[in-house]
Amino acid sequence: MEFERFSDMYLITKYSDFQLACIGSFILHESVFFLSGLPFIFLERRGYLTKYKIQAKSNTPTSQEKCIMRLLLYHFCVNLPVMLLSYPVFRAMGMRSTLPLPSWYSQILYVLKEVVPQIIFYFVLEDFVFYWGHRILHTKWLYQHIHSVHHEYATPFGLTSEYAHPAEILFLGFATILGPAITGPHLFTLWLWMVLRVLETVEAHCGYHFPWSPSNFIPLYGGSDFHDYHHRLLYTKSGNYSSTFVYMDRIFGTDVGYRKLKALKTAEAEADGKKM
């Protein structure tokens, strides 16, 4: 109780709602994004864990450095201004930053009754909106003039997840903020959603498929192998447009090529196993 009250007072007296929601969110995003994405550059340059690498090709240090410099430019010139301008919208929708939870028991109930359902809703809605937005970006004109920037890296690594044309950042970023804008979440919920979304997209672009990858344990989770296929193919034939979960691709049949390839690889592996 005393610690919670101290936390409330500390946040309220030291930082304004604007600072917490905008500056705090930006710092959190940058920290999670770069700390989770940079290790994959190190792995690729050193050649560690190559048996888990999906593609044999690797990016040059020059191309990796180009990605980092562009990301810093986009984040400070696009992401940060958008976060600052979005504050009135989230306030109008009911976002709050105080922590009025009187006990651990109440906190657990709060998480189960409010936070978990909201996060699930955000994932489902984001997948739906992202799928159609991403699929539209693969039409000829939009791909050539906007989405081709993201596909400059046919061999993706973690940080390429947010390497995109500024127009795409705004266009597909709408899918991420739509859920919170509708529900008006507690700032803690917004931050949790941001962290999970960043970690998911970095993992999807990491270029490695590990035994502990989420797609090995979570049903209908896309992950790195699913999205790497999307980057390897020509834009008109790529498919695999989903964000986190693959149900939209499954419903509309845009993952047929990927599933056929997976079935072929499985059959070949089983055949090799029988020979041994």
Judged by average pLDDT, the poorest of 11-20, 133-142, 201-210, 232-241 is 11-20
Q: Per DSSP, what are the bridge partners of residue 221?
A: 245
Q: How many helices (H) and strands (E) does the chain have?
A: 13, 0
The 10s digit of each residue's pLDDT in 145-161 is 999 999 999 999 999 99
Which of 36-40, 179-183, 228-232 has maximum average pLDDT? 36-40
Judged by average pLDDT, the poorest of 131-135, 184-188, 259-263 is 184-188
* pTM, rounded to two decimals: 0.89
Residue for token pair 């109780």 = 1
Would the pLDDT of 100 be above 60?
A: no
Region of 236 on the Ramachandran plot (φ > 0 left; ψ -120 to 50 alpha; else beta): alpha
Q: What pLDDT is attached to residue 101? A: 47
